[in-house]
Amino acid sequence: MALNHTEKSASKDKASNYQPKKLLIMNILDILRKYTDADHRISQKDIIDILKNKYNMVADRKAIRRNIMNLMDLGYNIEYKETVRMVPNKVTGELEESYIWSDYYYVSDFSDSELRLLIDSLIFSKHIPYSQRKELIEKLEGLSNIYFKSRIKHISVSTDYKIDNKELFYIIDVLDEAISKHKKVSFYYYEYGTDKKLHYRKRPDGSVREYIINPYQMAAKEGKYYLICNYDKYDNLSNYRVDKMTQVQIVDRPVKNRTEVKGMEHGLNLPKHMAEHIYMFADEPVTIVMRVRKTAISDVVDWFGRNFDVVDENIARQYEGFRETEDDVTYVRLVCSRQAMAHWAMQYGTSVEVIYPTELRAQIGEAVKEMNNKYNN
């Protein structure tokens, strides 16, 4: 028998409003995640009302409690308040204990302070494009409840620094796969031109340079992602900015054995590598000794961690640049890239003085002379 228009419409509405009982447990979990925390607890009656008004679903108190118990059995961290009440037995009439559950709330995997820390790191990130930062922040908001989202609505995402490489996350995925499969990768590398736009890095003859390298590790440094890798014809490590790579492809050839690469013989010690390459230059790290004002030791720790020694004058005397220390000065010895130390020592030039290696000291001295001529001539 064919249905008329009214009957078809009613049937359609009934079908669209129908909620399978299997969805009840998922909807209760969704309510607990969205509307509760330790400061915002919820009763069974509140859950029943939300189910009816927001989810178009009807359930009684017994069904609510039974499904919450099932969620707890499945490992979901749900807290509640248990109250003991004396009620008469329906058969004997004698008073007996009855346990009442109330004030439910869901314990999130992340606390609000942890989520705020993650969101703040995205807000001030320079190595993730604006649109992707915004999308990730919205996903992090979704891990908490409605009360958390309302507290950060006045925070805006900085767009001062623009990442031009829209492939960033895809490139990270490809590099991660290559590292996992121990395969080489090929890519082209960008550089900024005077037009403030990215251009392919080229060879001296003007042709675009293709890189084929052995990838070993990715690391974040000063708000940027770097690939730590090696060229077949060299035995040292190189570092490349991931956001300046393009057309990254996995090459179906195995990477060079790590034992053949300096610094990788026993696996990469990442904290040590990062401390020795503070600006991610790829030259060979060397032992460096410098005079440092004691007030600048915090700056040394900020950049090099605790990977340095404070040496006494008896040790420092063996170095050519030694001279008697004042009360507020000490000697520090560490291992670092020469190029990186040349930059760092000039950045903190009023507080540090490199005394060894002598050629590095001379290089910094020449740079200081050149700067002095520029600013005072």
* Tens-digit pLDDT profile for residues 16-46: 444 567 789 999 999 999 999 888 999 999 9
- What is the reported pLDDT for 13? 45
Q: Is the pLDDT of residue 354 over 90?
A: yes
Q: Is the pLDDT of residue 303 over 80?
A: yes
Q: Is the peptide bond before 285 cis (omega within 30 degrees of 0)?
A: no
What is the distance between the alpha carbons of residues 218 and 259, in angstroms, rounded to a whole number?
19
What is the distance between the alpha carbons of residues 124 and 118, in angstroms, rounded to a whole number?
10
Stretch 293-317: mean pLDDT, rounded? 82
- What is the reported pLDDT for 14? 44
pTM value is 0.57
What is the distance between the alpha carbons of residues 290 and 329, in angstroms, rounded to a whole number?
10
Q: Please say whether the beta carbons of 127 and 95 come within 8 A.
A: no
Residues 6+ apart with CB under 8 A from 349: 368
What is the distance between the alpha carbons of residues 322 and 311, in angstroms, rounded to a whole number?
12
- pLDDT level of residue 311 (50, 70, 90 thresholds): confident
- What is the reported pLDDT for 8? 45
Residues 6+ apart with CB under 8 A from 341: 288, 354, 360
- pLDDT level of residue 320 (50, 70, 90 thresholds): low
Q: Which of 231, 273, 289 is nearest to 256 (CA)?
A: 231
- pLDDT level of residue 221 (50, 70, 90 thresholds): confident
- Top-confidence residue, 137 or 150: 137
- pLDDT level of residue 191 (50, 70, 90 thresholds): confident
Torsion, CA 44, CA 49, CA 50, CA 51, rounded to 10: 90
First to last CA, the chain: 102
Stretch 304-317: mean pLDDT, rounded? 78
